[in-house]
Amino acid sequence: MKGLLLIAFAFNAFATDTQTQSTKWNFQNDPYRIDKNFENRLDLLPKSGDISSSGLGWPGYFWANKKGGIAQRWSSEKPQHFKYESPSLIQLRSMSHQKISELSAAEKFDIMMGRYDYPTVKRVWGQTSKRAKAWHGICHGVSPAGLHHIEPKARTLINPHGIKVTFHSSDLKALVAYYYAKISDTGIIQIGKRCFAGKRNPFKAKGCKDVNAASMHIIMANRLGLTKTGYIADIDPNKEVWNHVAVKFNSKILGIVSPIASSAAGTYKRAKVYTEVYYTGGVDPSPFAILGTQNAKWDIKKYEYYLDLDINNKILGGTWISKARPDFIWVKDKETFAHDYYGKILDLL
């Protein structure tokens, strides 16, 4: 699941030498911007956490712009994502239920609203293009939708004119993701900075300053281990943005070493840490909910880093060892949905 997170970013040089790189986070990396009450003592933080059994954090499709976004007729044998003509009310009354079920999520929503001029389809087509980059989509909507809403199951509903419409699970996911991506204005807090470099030597590129290792550990252990609320991360450290929900982690302390010259002020010791984080994977659209089935996919990232600790085990800063690391971490408030046209999406879930 991929997408473009539209946030303004500043740029800084990235240092790769763990012996010289400053370990203290700056304002952009300050984990307490998400929650000032985060636990920060390493010995009091859990070494594992999991929200995957809650029904939240479902793997999803990113609704590629080059395939028409949520106007994609993904379940049709002949999708024609940008060329089809949506059916009129008269045509709908003569169509089989199976054919109606093959329409796009955008079409189905407009039909449920009794709008046979299809404003959602037109709006989505205006936001997408066959010439879009392959990774462009609405993963920045899919991820908060999955973080805040239980995975929807397929539903069959009847619109005001008696038309029966089946919304597949992925149709409902598409609609709520679209709302979060294109309509929602709830608050976002981002930790770390996006890297705009390509895959060739990304760690030597100016403008690549990924989230501080200590910031990630504090957010991860609190949000997954203590509060069970999860978070979102761009798991690709390069130019492309791949937003995924973090649903599970396991950490272990590999050893304790002495501070270095660039350790944060007050550092008494450094803990070497190995962590595996399970993120929601990218999957193709499906008629059915997939959590708990073999169709649910997870992207496992393996991280290694140092944490600077004071004499009371408070985390003061961190340094990456592994090249694997999230580009940035973010959270978005849950949407209450306005009482307007697109706010009716909530009624379908």
Q: What is the pLDDT of residues 242-289, one digit of tens each?
A: 999 999 999 999 999 999 999 999 999 999 999 999 999 999 999 999
CA distance readout (Å), 294 to 1, 190, 280, 288: 18, 32, 13, 12
Distance CA(229)–CA(245), nearest Å, equals 10
Residue 145's pLDDT band (cuts 50, 70, 90): very high
Distance CA(135)–CA(282), nearest Å, equals 12
131 close to 202: Cβ distance less than 8 angstroms:
no
Question: What phi and psi, each to the nearest 5 degrees, are found at residue 292?
Answer: 85, 5
How many residues in the chain?
349
Question: What phi and psi, each to the nearest 5 degrees, are found at residue 224?
Answer: -95, -35
326 close to 216: Cβ distance less than 8 angstroms:
yes
pTM over 0.75: yes
Distance CA(77)–CA(101), nearest Å, equals 12
Q: What pLDDT, on a 0 to 100 scale, did the predictor assign at position 342?
A: 93
Question: What phi and psi, each to the nearest 5 degrees, are found at residue 3?
Answer: 180, 175
Does 108 score more than 90 pLDDT?
yes
Q: Which of 130-134, 167-171, 221-225, 273-277 is least confident? A: 130-134
202 close to 236: Cβ distance less than 8 angstroms:
no
**Percent of the chain predicted with pLDDT > 90:** 78
